[in-house]
Structure 1
Amino acid sequence: MKDGPDIARIAALIGDPARANILTALMGGKALTATELASEAGVTPQTASGHLARLDEGGLVRIRKQGRHKYVTLGSDAVAGVLEALMGLSAGTGHLRTRTGPRDSALRQARVCYNHLAGDRGVQMFDALTAQGVLTMSGDDVALTASGADFAVGFGIDLDALARRRAPLCRACLDWSERRTHLAGSLGRAMLDRMFVLGWARRDPDSRAVHFTPPGARAFDAAFARP
């Protein structure tokens, strides 16, 4: 088909190993410098700069200059969703770059997917919220119910502030390790941020892993009991 979206161009941008490593590193949700991304990709800073220019032109990343440094983030939530789906497809078809180890185990348990909770705990939270009637899902569409709004406010979420954002409130995101849905969108981001504020969990400074404290894990399981 000659008309329509040019998926081959996007696939080519993602398909280069160095660019794939750069995009994967940005899935942690943090803005990284070109030097940091060069290290993640295993290339020279000059080569990384060229890759970043192509990714920026393709709309897959955003580059912001602040002082002497340029900071890079993913271009949008949609880019993050595509990358997470590709990770799921790769894992499901056996295309893994490393053997499963302790670090992989931590990532499978709980991790940041761009800006929301993923992994086993992310899926547990989504299943619990659906079972409790906080969320409804029809096809790929996720919505917050009226009683769910009360739950969110009680959890400490400012729904009025979220409504003023351009991002969708709720979005389904396919988890690459669990092959099931977890919660994305501005509500998913706010839920994870709230867990950090409550002291339930902390970010691993060297990876996308999220580590729950023993009291935090108990509080999480009480709030989001498995159906």
Structure 2
Amino acid sequence: MDTNNPATEPLAFSAEERAAVYRAIDERRDMRHFSGGVVAQEVMQRLLQAAHHAPSVGLMQPWRFIRMQSRERRIGLHRMVEQERILTARAMGEREDEFMRLKVQGVLDAAEVLVVALPPGREQHIFGRRTLPEMDLASAACAIQNLWLAARCEGLGMGWVSLFDPAALADFLALPTGAKPIAVLCLGPVDAFYAAPMLQEQKWAARASLADMVYEDSWGQPSVS
């Protein structure tokens, strides 16, 4: 946005509102440590409404949220995640032990756990997907990001868990043929937010420089802007 162009001013948020939006983006973390508690029903509805206001290709709205309320079902989900965690660790080779020391999920600790699934019948939506059918997944990811940012604004942590076998989880949740689970979201109160991404704090990886991610006109050409 060109903040020096008067034409943009009627459409822009106030300075305080902009600061709040950018703060939520900057301080959002993929949380793994939760402090139990509950998420009030009215807050949960605000969060889900924020997710439901996400953009989607062709307005297909390819997101379905399954709230895992039963402790027994949560334990079953936890077992599935742990099984995949072990398999993932084995695939890490020399980093297996290091990976196993990481906390990768909070299914049993978080106040709320949601499974996000793509619904069946997505092939009927051609608008914007004829050459890029994966835009259903991209659209659902936008909904998850909306939920994540809204949760941060509410002072709640959220973590996206992708350690599961999609076919096994689909069977566990009795999803209809053609539906596909894409995320297990752990959501709820936390004692504190990580000062930096947890994997960065744990020396697993580091955030790349933005300059290395922006090209101009063709691949690999550094931007001069």
Larger radius of gyration: 2
Please give the TM-score of this superposition, normalised by the length of structure 2. Answer: 0.25
Please give the TM-score of this superposition, normalised by the length of structure 1. Answer: 0.25
Indicate the structure with greater strand content.
Answer: 1
Indicate the structure with greater helix content.
Answer: 1
Q: Which has the higher contact order (CA 8 A, sep 6+)?
A: 2
